[in-house]
Chain A
Amino acid sequence: MKKMNEMILEVKDLRKQYGSREVVKGINFSVMAGEIFGLLGPNGAGKTQTISMLTGVVEPSGGTAVIGGYDIRKRMNQVKKINGLVPQDLALYPTLSARTNLNFFGRIYGLRGKALKERVEDVLRVVALTDRADDPVENYSGGMKRRINIAAGLVHHPRLLFLDEPTVGVDPQSRNHIFESVMRLNRERGMSIVYTSHYMEEVELLCHRVAIIDNGEIIALDTVKNLIAMLGGGVIHVGLNQVDEALLARIRALPGVAQASLTTRPAPPPANGGEAADTLTIAPTHPLVKVEARHSQTALINLISFLNEQEIPLVSLEILEPNLENVFLHLTGKKLRE
């Protein structure tokens, strides 16, 4: 990461409203030059709308942003030259070859002649598709299409690249390739990147800082490390038949336990494909006690011993490892992929 002292993007109270429905509710954040900034949130949280406003695809209903020193409400045409957009959809012309697509996307950024040719070859190298450049895009695999989709956003060498869910529907090999490309663009070219995803693993791997967005609002913003630290030593959800304030107070007093509170949230269902395999669910009903641990292992041992001693039956037990997925769960009471 380079030049982190310079701000490339500053979002100020940005809003988007469709009729009476507010989809982005006055968000604020900034991205430093050379930073990979993550926007993490479930589908419909407002990530794409935010990017659409910052790239000039839709008009903001309120607020503004400054990109590269230009106000998006006043100098969007200058802003567009700084920005690169990789939309969530495969925004390509499938019957044309990759090279023809890239030539076109270069031309609409004012490139032509030798410069255009060089840029096209360059981005083809970045996404490792030089060999297949003259094949129609429709003949590509899903992963290759995603890579050309990224290349089309890079051809004019943007200073700030918006990657909107770039790995949706991509096989693991292509996903890794995309990660490598993103990291190389940031490391070697100092490109600032705004990366949206609902996959916490991607954001944890790639992003220096992350804004967690839900229902059009940013509910947390910090480095990945600091966000995870919000969970302290982790969170344990304990299902019991009966819970009262006295019981909660005794749990709070256990070694390793920082906080204990009653939560009405039912235990979440397992995520797709059992991706959140760090959860152990015994039964998803009954009152649920949320135990925030200073140290999860110590807290867990003491908690189980206490319940045994008191002959309080354990109905369910869920251990939330400290990661962004559980930070989101901790903050919103929802799973990222719900």
Chain B
Amino acid sequence: MDTIRYTLAVAGKELQVMFKDRGALAVLFLLPLLLASLLGTMFQSFGVMGDGEATAVSLDIFLINEDDGPYAAQIVTALETIDALNIERLDSVTEADERIADAQALAAVIIPAGFSQRVDAYEPVQLQVIVDPAQEIAASIVSGILRQVAGEVEVVGEISYGIRAVLAESGALASAPPEMQRAIEAQTLGVIMTQLQEMRQNPVITVRSEELAGAVATEPVNPFGYVVPNFAVMFSFFLVGVISATLLREKEEGSFRRLLAAPLPPAAIIAGKMLAYMLIVVLQVGVLFGVAGAAFDMPLGQSPSGLLLLTLALALAASALGMLLAAVVKTSGQADSLGTIIAFVLAGLGGAIVAFPAGSFMDKVTLFTPHGHALRGFYGLLNDGLGVVDVLPQVGAVAGFAAVFFLAAMWRFKFE
């Protein structure tokens, strides 16, 4: 009972000292939050993580319609119904040229005079697109959209021309008045287009995709579900340097002598320090996951107990590694710098900085770090809906690393 009280006293003091150190707090809490937010948002914007949701893209284009015929009107209508395009109508090509040069829009679409007439006569005609050379990709998207729209109009034009040519060739309407000829042509066009629409909706050849039998359908991937655990695991190991430097600083400054002279067991000193830093890791992970869940809709999975258990194992591993470092280095300065290096190297090898392809050599290397196991556990809990039982192997592996670190630390640590 006394040992627990002494442990809590040491842990309380460590936390008080830690929370007075604003620099360390910024590194442990704000920096991972900032980096995870930036990286997650970036991935989400570029859809790198395969997010299934439509991305809100708006392409500014100018439209100059010099034709007042029906086919030009169809193209204008078709373009205006596309959400991704933000269309501004202009009257002159010169103005469009100048404003694209000023980067006010990505491209200008010009429908030339006589466009409808030429389509109607089935004569070649061009839609002109002026693009901003600095926005090559976006401009090519505009050209692609225009080709699609023009293709629809072209089909209508082709069919109209065909109907007219067949009727003229057959001579069936030769004696009919022009109004009747146009009415019959329009009616025939309507029938054919309706039929065509039906055929498009019910194609003869269909491609059917179905999910693998028994496979669990997954929600679209939220990149924060990967980025945030990466930073959480990586930055929890930044405590390694802090723990060891703090402990060695106590030795250097003499307060450790005072602890040894007090009637508290040495185990309570170590346990108290580890407990404090474990709480900081739990808080660190909690803050990161909490903010990412609230601000970026990061999935938090179905198993709070799994998350807590894995986080505790992670906290134990980071604290024990801090103790081990304190046991093998001589000064707090060495502990500070070596701790940072260890945090980066382990994060790199463990897959917390760069994700390695599944089954690759480096993917196997990650299993030799606590990071690799912790990340697999967190990914499973957050993104795949795994439960506490499912991640017990990862929890066990991380706790195993903690045990090895701790035993090595106690073997090497000198209390005197």
Q: Which residues of A contact B (CB under 8 A)?
A: 52, 55-59, 77, 80-81, 83, 85, 87-93, 95-96, 100, 104-105, 107-110, 112, 136, 152-153
Chain A nearest CB, measured from B379 CB (Å): 38
Q: In the complex, which residue of chain A has the Cβ closest to the Cβ of B20?
A: A95
Alpha-carbon distance A87/B255, docked complex (angstroms): 8
B416 contacts A105, C-beta separation under 8 Å: no
Q: In the complex, which residue of chain B has the Cβ closest to the Cβ of A108?
A: B262
Segment touching A, from B10-18, B93-101, B215-223: B10-18
A93 contacts B263, C-beta separation under 8 Å: no
Alpha-carbon distance A10/B132, docked complex (angstroms): 94
Residue in B2, B17, B264, B416 whose CB lies within 8 Å of A93: B17
Chain B hits for A152, CB < 8 A: 258
Asked if A108 meets B253 with Cβ closer than 8 Å, knowing A56-B261, A58-B416, A152-B258, the reply is: no
Asked if A92 meets B263 with Cβ closer than 8 Å, knowing A58-B416, A104-B13, A110-B2, the reply is: no
B257 contacts A57, C-beta separation under 8 Å: yes
- Using A77-B263, A81-B263 as known contacts, list a sample of 11 further A-B pairs with CB atoms less than 8 Å apart, ordered by residue number in A: A57-B257, A57-B260, A80-B261, A80-B262, A83-B261, A89-B254, A93-B255, A95-B21, A96-B16, A107-B9, A153-B258
Alpha-carbon distance A280/B270, docked complex (angstroms): 56
Chain B nearest CB, measured from A173 CB (Å): 24
Q: Which residues of B contact A (CB under 8 A)?
A: 2, 5-6, 9-10, 12-13, 16-17, 20-21, 253-264, 416
B255 contacts A92, C-beta separation under 8 Å: yes
B254 contacts A90, C-beta separation under 8 Å: yes
Alpha-carbon distance A105/B262, docked complex (angstroms): 8
A96 contacts B257, C-beta separation under 8 Å: no
Q: List 22 A-B contacts (CB under 8 A).
A: A52-B257, A56-B261, A57-B257, A57-B261, A77-B263, A80-B262, A81-B263, A85-B261, A87-B257, A89-B257, A90-B254, A91-B256, A96-B20, A100-B16, A104-B12, A107-B9, A107-B12, A108-B262, A109-B263, A110-B2, A110-B5, A110-B263
Chain A hits for B263, CB < 8 A: 77, 80-81, 108-110
Chain B nearest CB, measured from A192 CB (Å): 16
Chain A hits for B253, CB < 8 A: 89-91
Chain A hits for B2, CB < 8 A: 110
A56 contacts B254, C-beta separation under 8 Å: no
Alpha-carbon distance A169/B20, docked complex (angstroms): 27
Alpha-carbon distance A203/B55, docked complex (angstroms): 81
Interface of B (DSSP majority class): helix
B259 contacts A108, C-beta separation under 8 Å: yes
Q: In the complex, which residue of chain A has the Cβ closest to the Cβ of B272?
A: A108
B254 contacts A91, C-beta separation under 8 Å: yes
A108 contacts B257, C-beta separation under 8 Å: no
Alpha-carbon distance A42/B13, docked complex (angstroms): 35
Chain A nearest CB, measured from B173 CB (Å): 99
Asked if A108 meets B255 with Cβ closer than 8 Å, knowing A77-B263, A85-B261, the reply is: no
Chain B nearest CB, measured from A58 CB (Å): 5
Chain A nearest CB, measured from B41 CB (Å): 35
Alpha-carbon distance A191/B9, docked complex (angstroms): 27
Chain A nearest CB, measured from B68 CB (Å): 79
Q: In the complex, which residue of chain B has the Cβ closest to the Cβ of A106?
A: B9
Alpha-carbon distance A88/B254, docked complex (angstroms): 8
Alpha-carbon distance A58/B253, docked complex (angstroms): 16
Q: In the complex, which residue of chain B has the Cβ closest to the Cβ of A95?
A: B20
Alpha-carbon distance A232/B126, docked complex (angstroms): 124
Alpha-carbon distance A55/B416, docked complex (angstroms): 12
Alpha-carbon distance A52/B257, docked complex (angstroms): 8
Alpha-carbon distance A57/B260, docked complex (angstroms): 5
Residue with the highest number of chain B CB atoms closer than 10 Å, among A90, A93, A104, A108: A108
Q: In the complex, which residue of chain A has the Cβ closest to the Cβ of B19?
A: A95
Alpha-carbon distance A324/B291, docked complex (angstroms): 68
A105 contacts B258, C-beta separation under 8 Å: yes
Chain B nearest CB, measured from A164 CB (Å): 9
Residue with the highest number of chain A CB atoms closer than 10 Å, among B16, B20, B258, B416: B258
A91 contacts B16, C-beta separation under 8 Å: no
Chain A hits for B416, CB < 8 A: 57-59
Alpha-carbon distance A80/B21, docked complex (angstroms): 32
A93 contacts B257, C-beta separation under 8 Å: no
Chain B nearest CB, measured from A155 CB (Å): 11
Residue in A57, A58, A108 whose CB lies within 8 Å of B6: A108
Residue in A96, A105, A108 whose CB lies within 8 Å of B17: A96
B261 contacts A55, C-beta separation under 8 Å: yes
Q: Nearest 4 A-B pairs (CB), nearest first?
A: A89-B254, A91-B254, A80-B263, A107-B9
Alpha-carbon distance A96/B21, docked complex (angstroms): 10
Alpha-carbon distance A160/B254, docked complex (angstroms): 20
Chain B hits for A104, CB < 8 A: 9, 12-13
Asked if A108 meets B264 with Cβ closer than 8 Å, knowing A85-B257, A89-B253, the reply is: yes
B260 contacts A108, C-beta separation under 8 Å: no
Alpha-carbon distance A273/B388, docked complex (angstroms): 71
Q: In the complex, which residue of chain A has the Cβ closest to the Cβ of B264?
A: A108
Chain B nearest CB, measured from A148 CB (Å): 12
Chain A nearest CB, measured from B252 CB (Å): 8
Q: In the complex, which residue of chain B has the Cβ closest to the Cβ of A77?
A: B263
Residue in A80, A93, A112, A136 whose CB lies within 8 Å of B13: A93
Residue in A91, A100, A105, A107 whose CB lies within 8 Å of B257: A91
Chain A hits for B17, CB < 8 A: 93, 95-96
Residue in A81, A85, A96 whose CB lies within 8 Å of B258: A85
Chain A nearest CB, measured from B297 CB (Å): 38
Residue with the highest number of chain A CB atoms closer than 10 Å, among B13, B261, B262: B261
Chain B hits for A83, CB < 8 A: 261
B9 contacts A108, C-beta separation under 8 Å: yes
A91 contacts B258, C-beta separation under 8 Å: yes
Chain B nearest CB, measured from A45 CB (Å): 18
Alpha-carbon distance A59/B6, docked complex (angstroms): 22
Residue with the highest number of chain B CB atoms closer than 10 Å, among A81, A88, A100, A152: A100
Alpha-carbon distance A153/B263, docked complex (angstroms): 13
A108 contacts B254, C-beta separation under 8 Å: no
Chain A nearest CB, measured from B77 CB (Å): 70
Chain B hits for A77, CB < 8 A: 263
Alpha-carbon distance A272/B404, docked complex (angstroms): 53
Alpha-carbon distance A56/B264, docked complex (angstroms): 11
Q: In the complex, which residue of chain A has the Cβ closest to the Cβ of B13?
A: A104
Chain A nearest CB, measured from B272 CB (Å): 9
Alpha-carbon distance A52/B260, docked complex (angstroms): 10
